[in-house]
Every structure is written in C-alpha cells, then in structure tokens.
Structure 1
Amino acid sequence: MNYLPQILFAIILIAGIGFFAKNVLRLRRNINLGKDVDVSDNKPQRWKNMAKIALGQTKMVVRPIAGFLHIIVYIGFVIINIEVLEIIIDGLFGTHRIGLKVLNTSIYGFLIGSFEVLAVLVLVAVIVFWIRRNIIKIKRFLSKEMTGWPKNDGNIILYFEVVLMCLFLVMNATDVQFQELESGNVISQYLAPLFSGLSKSTLPLIERSAWWLHIIGILIFLNYLYYSKHLHILLAFPNTFYGKLIPQGQFKNNDAVTQEVKLMMDPNADPFAAPAEDAPDPEKFGASDVTDLSWVQLLNSYTCTECGRCTSECPANQTGKKLSPRKIMMDTRDRLEEVGKNIEANKGTFVDDGKQLLGDYISHEELWACTSCNACVQACPVSIDPLSIIMDMRQYLVMEQSAAPSDLNNMMGNIENNGAPWPFNQMDRLNWAEES
C-alpha cells in the first residue's frame, strides 16, 4: 500500500498548524506587553455579551444589509468547514468520505447538501461584498487609512472565500461515487454535467486536485489570519467577553491620580517630604506608547475588523476633523507589531527605537478632535473601545507634558480661579440680571 499521500498530508497539516501555533504565541506575547487589568468581574454578563455579540452577531444587524450578508458568510464558512474534520481523517488514514461509513446515507446527504447550499449563499454574499467595496465604493471603505495593504486585504479575503467555496463544489461535482448516491448533491448535481465529457480517469484527478487544494487553502487561510484584519474571526469572542461593562459615559479613575489627590488632601502629609528610599517610582500618567496601555486595549487593536462603522458614526470625522477611530485602532496594532518585531530581533528585549505611538503614529490633532461622545464604542460590532486609548493619551499630554490646547488650559484656569469655565469673577455672575 502506498502511504506517500498520507505522509505528505500529515507533513502539510503539521506545518500549517505549527505555523499557526507559532503566530498565536507571538500574538499572546504582544498582547501581554500591555498593563495588567482585572476583568474577572460579573462573568455571567460577560458570557452573555459574548453569546449575543460575537456568536449572535446582534450588533452587526444594526445595518441590515451588511449584517445579513455577514451572518450568511459567518455561518456558512463555519459550518462548511465542519467537513474539514472528514478531510483530515481521510487524509491521515487514506480513506474516502469516511462520513459515509459512520453516518446513514440520508444523514450524510443532508449534511453535505446543507453545506452545498451554504456554499452558494456564501458565494453570493461575497460577490455582493466585493461589489459594495469595489464598484459601489461605499464611503467608509475609502478613508485615507484604507489604502495600500488595508484595502488589498479586504479583497484578498473575499477571493480566498470564493476559491474555497468553488473548490468544495467542484470536489463534490467530480466525485463519481458521491454523485451516484443521489443524496446531498443538491447543488453539485447541476455542476457535474460540466465535467461529463471527461474520461473516467480524468474525473478522479480533478476531484483529488480540488480536495488537496481545498485543505491546503484552508490551512493557508488559517495562517493568513494573523496578518489580516480577519483575525477578528478568532478574537471577537475573547474581545466581547472582556469588553467594557460599566456605562459608556463612565470613565474609570486613574489609581495613580487618586493616590496623588489623597496625598494632597491629607492634612498630616508633608508636601515637601522626600519619598522613602525603597518607594516605587511614580506611576506614569496616561499612555504615550502601546506598553502603557492595558492588555485589553491591545486585544482591541488586534480584534479591529476595519469595517469603519466607528469612523462613519464619529461626529468629529463627519465634520472634517482629522480623527478616525478606526485609524486609532489600526495605528495601535501597527505600533504593537513594530514593538513585537523589535523584541524578536533583540532576543526578547525591547531596544528603544526612538518611536512611540503618540506622535509617530497618532497626532495631537487627532486626539483633541474627539468629543468623547462614545459613538465609536456604540457602533463597533465587536465591543472595541477606541475612546479609552484616546483618553489615556490625552491624560499623558495633560499630566505628563502639560500639552493641553490653550482653550482647555484657559478653561481649567477659570475653573480653578472662578469656579466655572468662564472668565468671570464669581461676584459678577448676576450682573446680567441687573442690566435687564
């Protein structure tokens, strides 16, 4: 018996899964560069959010057309790839459609028939997505940050899905044994006549070629995810689980600021006393680079789907300001990748490269354009929070560099001196009433 096909299949499978595992470890390391944060509270609500948002796609259907098409692709692609289990078993043990030996013919036919129908639906949805992106050219796909690789990535993944679905249907259509069952060939029976003129020796060759290309394509797709925005296929689940639970308008107090305020309010504290020799270094206020952010925020950056819903809802962006919440997340991920490569190149240690997220990737103008309205957070279909990153970097600018805009400095000065944001003495507040 010739074991070469099984050996070759095992090598390809191990290589594909091994490379994917290596990228998962790299991803985990990069996310763990962020500060630790406790998100272990209210687990029942977190599981509920994950089930509703990541699994149930409840925030996708806010925009019905895109949401419905996405659900088709999501369900279709996941369910169709259940057949990968059969392909793996067949590849490793040299069997052919092992499912027919395990399941009743009608049950097996029902499953494969369902997969074929879903494959066609996925093809239709993907074609519509391609038209929306490349012919209709929906505005949110045309922002400045959506050029070059981000633009190409969106199309590449669509081509991937078309090829994989077509290979699946061709594989079924050219499988003579499967077609003779007349069970499950709901779609492929109409494709089979296209190959009817071929010899009996050619059909198995096409079927085997489609079979090999299908599984190799799936492994390539799996490993492509790390480099693509479609990493959200995997990360949407943990990201929605660890998403923000407090009301969107509520900002978390910075512990370092709280400690400073407590010290100032302590009547027994000596403001001129030197810190103890063993006292830890003062904690940095806010964030200027990715390592100042929490690991949840870094997870957010890798989960970003680049769909642009956040930017299309942003009032600052709509009025021509430079801010794009999508770009904030893309910049954070790009900088994090740069830091990760720096660590790899220097054997596990980060060597200062003279860059940081603030300034080199995200400008002051972008940060101060934000109105902190939370529209971007509300719009995100996978619970990403761009506002938290914006506010952390703003805090750094104000508290570490005293680099707030002049209008903001004037307002804070007025609050300190007059108890209100306006430049009027408290004694003059009712003058307007006397004049009337």
Structure 2
Amino acid sequence: MIAQAIFIIILGAAIYLFAKNAGKIRRNILLGKDADRSDQPALRWKVMAKVALGQTKMVKRPVAAVMHFFIYVGFIIINLEVLEIMIDGIFGSHRIFSHPLGGLYNLLIGGFEVLALLVLTACVVFLCRRNVVRLKRFSGIEMTEWPKSDANYILIIEILLMTAFLTMNAADYKLQLLHFGHYVTAGSFPVSSVIAPLLPNGSGALVMLERGCWWFHIIGILAFLNYLPYSKHFHILLAFPNVYYSNLNEKGKFTNMASVTNEVKAMLDSSFVPENTGEPARFGVKDVTDLTWKNLMEAYTCTECGRCTSVCPANITGKLLSPRKIMMDTRDRLTEVGNNIDKHGKDHDDGKALLDNYITREELWACTTCNACVDACPVNINPLEIITEMRRYVVMEESQAPASLNNMFGNVENNGAPWKYSQADRLNWAQND
C-alpha cells in the first residue's frame, strides 16, 4: 500500500506539472493573431495522415528515415506497456493485462522487446551521427550549447529507458522460471531472455533489480514527460496538429491585407465602398505577438533537425540566413514574452522585439523566397511566412528597404514596371538600327 500511495502521488504530481507547463505553451501560442485554418477538413486530414502519420517527407534522407521510424513506432506502441505499468502501480498488481489478453499478451511483450531494441539501436546511431560523424546540418551559429545538449539528453534518456525496460523484463523472466512469489508465467521475452544469464541468480537480488528497473522506467517516463515543454522534443505532441493546420495555399503565395486592398480598390473605383475591417495594429511583423497563432505553434513544433537550413541556397552560399534559426529565435522570443507575462503581467514591455533583437535585417533580406525550407520540413513548418511578414513591416512601417528595392518601388510607381524606362520607351530595344 505504501508503494501504491507513493506511485499515485508521483503520478499525480507529474501530470499536474506537465499540464501546468503545457498550459503556458498553449497560452503563449494564443498570443498570436487569429488565422482561419478550418477550411477543407477532408484535405487536412489527408495531409496529416500522409505527412505526420506516414512520415512521407522523412524518406528524402533514407538512413535518418529508417532510424526515426523505429523510434516513432516504438514510442507509440511501447506506450501500451506503459499503460500496464501505471495500472500495476496504482492497484499493486503485476502484469495485469496478461490474464485477459491470454496468448496475445505474449505476442505484445515480444513485440515491445523487439521495438525497444530497435529504438535503442536507433538512438545509438543518432548519437554517433551527432557526436562522432558530426553531420554538418547539426551545426550552425544557432546550434549553441543548449540545443546540442538537448538533443543528446533526449537520446541518452531514451537509451536508459529502453535499457531499464529490457533489464526489468530479463529479471522478471528469471523470476518466472523460479516460480517466485507473484511472478507468474506471462509474456514472451525474445530479447531480455538473451541478457538474462548476465543477471544474478538469487531471487532476492532479482526482485530488487526488477523493482528498481520498474521504478526507474516509469519515473523516467514521467520525468521525460515534464522535460518535453522545455525541449525541442515537444514536437511529438504538436507535429500532428501542426500538419493538420498546414497552409493549403500555393507555396509562397502572399497574403493581402484587407485595409490595403480596400484602399487600392477605392483608388481604382470611386464608387467602391469598403467594408469596415478596422485599422490594422501594425503592417507586417515586428514582434512575436504580430505573428499568427499558427506561426507560433510552428516555433514550438520545430525539432531543429536542420533540413531547412541544409537546402537553403542563401545559407549554402555563405549568407547569414538560417531558416532553422528563424524558428528557434521565434520560439526563444515567445518564451521570453511568456515569462514576462508570468512575472510582470500581460501589458509589460521589455523594450525588445523579434526584429533586431533576435533576427537581423541581413538575415531577412538574404532570403530568396524559393520555398526550399518549406518543402524540406518534415512537419510542414513555414519559416518563409515569418520572413516575408517581417520584411513587410520593414518596408511598410519603416520604409527601410534596401536601396535596390527602393529603386524598384520608385520605378513601379513612376513607370508602371520595375525598370527605369518609361512606358513609351519600352519597345525601343526591338526597333531596327
């Protein structure tokens, strides 16, 4: 009863803390402006099934795709085993699903073990890719000490959890063979039975090892759950909704501001009566609260894999721009704004902004708007939308576009075309000498 009470307290505390921190992230996301992503639900479900569930955009890098698939499937399926552990912890039972599931239980436990081994192998491979092979896309000015450590922590935690799971099963397997106590014959152990001979033979030592690994495994999972809100690994919860709410318009299509559109229509047609849409608080984006909630969700969904940056032509040619940094900076600034709200209230102004304090203008104007980053992202994150909206602010609010663009704007205004020639002289090049 004491063990059950301790487990229930730990479980309740873990769920409460996670809900509290996840609630803050939800609050932060909702600081963004409204965006309607409720259209075409059938297509959205199809995109989510294809991209998020089917992982179709991962296969462009086959090795990473296979390893990630092992972890992805293992994470989903092994959670069934976690459910049994939680029920056992609450009611003081042991392998409570073994009796009602019968022979299917043996198949499930055997499958869990194979998946656990595959997850463990994949995590070791990913650790080597990051720290031994040192793939280029895992580096960059934005990949400071914390992002690198965060990735390693996640992989190490998963290795420890899978090792504890297999060791627990190995001790359980030996105790079943000894017919000791409540360790009734249940489950199939294709992996842990191989490592079982390495464990001690005494029943007392085996019980301590099995219970120790049981507690380590479940407490480790609950601790990992509460680590997620502080980690890039939060994408395991946001990837599906993020893909569902993907932008279904053509890639790179600019949005029109209703107030500007109405002004243009009124200039072209004196009889036009615009609808009262209200004055925009700001043209474009200066800070995270000017972005939409979908942009902010994407910032929390980013897993910092670097696929976007690795295909960015600006970054490849040595420019300062990194689409991954755009998303990481947006998340860092949003977290800072959220912390300010917690400490000082919603109206607090810290004198900072996403523009200049986090993202430089050099980065913004290095972008070629080619959409390579959008196409490369495994979960349909759109760094380009943030870049173009911040450009809109620089141009429309500050009139501080680069000189080359200002010349083009002047030509469009005066000549009706980007070139410096008047409309009357446009066809001069085609005339014979």
Q: Distance in 1 between matches of 2:133 and 2:277?
A: 61
Deviations 1:206-264 (A, max 9, x none): 10000000000000111111111111000001000000101113222122321332343
Question: Quick one: distance in 2 between partners of 1:183 and 1:95?
Answer: 15
Q: Which residue of 1 is the match for residue 379 of structure 2?
A: 382
Return the offset for 1:281. 4.6
Q: How does 1:328-339 map to 2 (within 5 A)?
A: 328-339=326-337
What is residue 194 of structure 1 aligned with on the other side?
A: 198
- For residues 167-212 of structure 1, the C-alpha deviation after alignment (integer angstroms, 9 at most, x for no partner) is 00000001134456485110111111001x4421111001000000
**Equivalent residue for 1:121, pick from 105, 118, 123:** 118
Q: For 1:135, what is the secondary structure of its paired residue? A: helix
Q: TM-score, normalised by structure 1?
A: 0.94
User: 1:263/1:137 Cα in 2 relative to 1: closer, same or farther (>3 Å)?
Assistant: same
Q: How far apart, CA to CA, are the structure 1 residues paired with 2:415 and 2:129?
A: 54
Q: Is the 8 Å Cα contact of residues 289 and 357 (structure 1) preserved in structure 2?
A: yes
Asked if 2 retains the 8 angstrom alpha-carbon contact of 1:239 and 1:383, the reply is: yes
For 2:4 and 2:91, how far apart are their aligned partners in 1? 7
Matched, 1:157 2:154: yes
Instruction: Tell me, yes or no, if the aligned pair for 1:34 and 1:293 is still in contact at 8 Å.
Output: yes
Match in the other structure for 1:356: 353
What corresponds to 2:247 in structure 1?
244
Aligned position for 2:411: 414
Amino acid paired to 2:244: F
Partner of 1:222: 225
Taking structure 1 as reference, are residues 431 and 260 closer, same or farther at Cα in structure 2, changes over 3 Å only? Answer: closer
Give the percent of matched residue pairs that are identical in Structure 1 and Structure 2. 59
Q: Which residue of 2 aligns with 1:33?
A: 31
Query: Is the alpha carbon distance of 1:132 and 1:279 closer, same or farther for their aligned partners in structure 2, counting shifts above 3 Å?
Result: closer
1:268 shift after superposition: 5.6
Q: Which residue of the partner structure matches residue 345 of structure 1? A: 343
* Gapped regions of structure 2 (runs ≥ 5): 179-184
Correspondence for 2:169: 172
Task: Output the TM-score relative to the length of structure 2.
Answer: 0.94
CA contact (8 A) 1:173 1:192 kept: yes
When residues 282 and 202 of structure 1 are mapped into structure 2, their CA distance, relative to the original with a 3 A threshold, is closer
Measured in 2, the distance between the counterparts of 1:282 and 1:201 equals 71
CA displacement at 1:349 relative to structure 2: 1.7
For the 8 Å contact 1:123–1:162, the answer to whether it is kept is: yes
Distance 1:402 1:199, change over 3 A: same
Match of 1:89 among 87, 90, 95: 87
Give the conservation status (yes or no) of the 8 Å contact 1:256–1:283. no
Equivalent pair of 2:373/2:384 in contact (CA under 8 Å) = yes
Gaps spanning 5+ residues in structure 1: where?
271-277
Distance 1:250 1:359 in 2: 25
Structure 2 CA distance for partners of 1:411 and 1:218, relative to 1, 3 Å: same
Which string of whole-angstrom CA distances, capped at 9 and with x for unpartnered residues, describes residues 368-401 of structure 1? 1111111110000001010111111000000010
**CA-atom RMSD, angstroms?**
1.8
CA–CA separation in structure 1 for the residues paired with 2:140 and 2:300: 20
Instruction: Tell me whether 46-55 or 415-424 shows the greater mean CA deviation.
Output: 415-424
Does 178-187 or 70-79 show the bigger shift?
A: 178-187
Q: Is the 8 A contact 1:9 1:92 kept in 2?
A: yes
- Could you say if the C-alpha distance between residues 220 and 411 of structure 1 is closer, same or farther in structure 2, counting changes exceeding 3 Å? same
Structure 1 residue identity aligned to 2:299: S
Of the structure 1 ranges 278-287 and 294-303, higher mean CA displacement relative to structure 2 is found in: 278-287
| d(CA) in 1 for partners of 2:306, 2:230 | 19
Residue 63 (structure 1) shift: 1.2
Contact 2:110 2:189 in 1 (8 A): yes
* Residue 267 in structure 1 maps to residue 264 in structure 2: no
